[in-house]
Structure 1
Amino acid sequence: MALPSPIRLVIFDMDDVLLHYDVEARQSAIAAMAGLTVDEVARLIWDSGIEDASDAGRLSADAYLAACSQALGIPFGRADWFRTRALAMTLDPEAVALAQAVKDKAALALLTNNGFIMGEHFDALVPELRAVFGSAMHVAAEFGTKKPDPAIYARLAARYGVAPAEAAMIDDKPVNIEGARAAGLTGHSFRSAGELRSFLDALSLI
């Protein structure tokens, strides 16, 4: 029987893994700008498919902002996006420290279901993550699809020159872990930093 491949690449999700993401706070801030209810903002931007299209790379940053402006009925530019996104993000120092610890044993990458506009703002929004991941911070839009499509994990692994079996994905959404496993990756469904530590330790990654 062949031994399992050693893990050479560990991929971290961002929202609700390395940081807490309060989407309701973001929607509330946008609602206050537009004179709408939170439910209306969720329907106009999220349920309408604008966020999904952005995440999957079907909208450029400018096209995404234009679509939001049209849907909300107000100008919605980069500064507005940045302010409402930033207030919804709180880093998890313990999870970030675990990512830092993995660097001694394997390559790191970050993969988040976000559009090109997030890629523009990583340095300003999460400089602490840039310090850990360097240039290996990716939005799904770069790959023309989004999690849980198995293709996105295979494409990311190929970019770093590893086979899917040599990569591990850490994500808070079980469906995204199912997609990663379908692509041949090892997956960990994130619930706490303590459980993540045990997972990484079991794979001799910390």
Structure 2
Amino acid sequence: MTASITLVLFDMEGVLSHYDRAARVIHLAAVSGQPPETVRHAIWGSGLEARADAGLISDDEYLRALGDLLGCRINREDWLAARHASITPNEEVIALAARVAERHSIAVLTNNCCLVTDHIGYLNPPVAQLFGPHVYASASFGAAKPAPQAYLGCLEQLGRGAAETLFIDDTDANVAGAINAGLQGYKFVSGDALSEELERRRLM
């Protein structure tokens, strides 16, 4: 028998917000004077972003390494401005989360470094307003989704059990990782489909 859900844990980018990587790249290309392909490689192709998301390097180490790859200094303001340009809140899904919050606990687990969660009020104001302090970066737990440690570290922080948590993400691997860690999982495909799923589970 499936356990009753007491916590709904949301991914952010791709679920609670739309993520425009190209906008982020364009901003950093302008700052660094490097072509977009160089910026893309520095962030994703080099493995730097993955190391930061997993908490293997500190935020300051991450910014220094990114600057080294781009041949210039990347300060926090530049980085945050680029990330801000890449995020558009998904108001439809945020409204669904608000309805869930009327009767159940909600939180966010995002594959990101702590720069994102430390500055969530600037980067994604509607998410910051709704979720308050319960927006967690994978880097805080020393692993990125779909590693079990990411989910279980977050749940330990929240004082919640895995079986009573529904995790919502837009990628198959991250949903599978949650299920493997003992959570219940749902793959996000659209606001309408999520609304039906939440209604079916009587979560709103």
**Normalised by the size of structure 2, how large is the TM-score?**
0.96
Alignment partner, residue 122 of structure 2 = 124
Alignment partner, residue 191 of structure 1 = 189
Alignment partner, residue 23 of structure 2 = 25
- State which drifts further: 66-75 or 28-37: 28-37
Alignment partner, residue 165 of structure 2 = 167
CA-CA distance at 1:204 after TM superposition: 0.7
Alignment partner, residue 86 of structure 2 = 88
Q: Please point out which of 195, 202, 205 is paired with 2:203.
A: 205
Structure 1: distance between partners of 2:121 and 2:139: 17
Structure 1: distance between partners of 2:40 and 2:17: 21
| Code of the aligned partner of 2:8 | V
Q: Which runs of 5+ in 1 are unaligned?
A: none
| Code of the aligned partner of 1:86 | H
Matching of residues 1-206 of structure 1 within 5 Å: 3-206=1-204
**Normalised by the size of structure 1, how large is the TM-score?**
0.95
Structure 1: distance between partners of 2:95 and 2:188: 15
Stretches (4+) displaced over 6 A: none
Q: Which runs of 5+ in 2 are unaligned?
A: none
Q: Once superposed, what is the RMSD of the aligned Cα atoms?
A: 1.1
Structure 1: distance between partners of 2:159 and 2:72: 44
Identical positions, percent: 38
CA-CA distance at 1:102 after TM superposition: 0.6
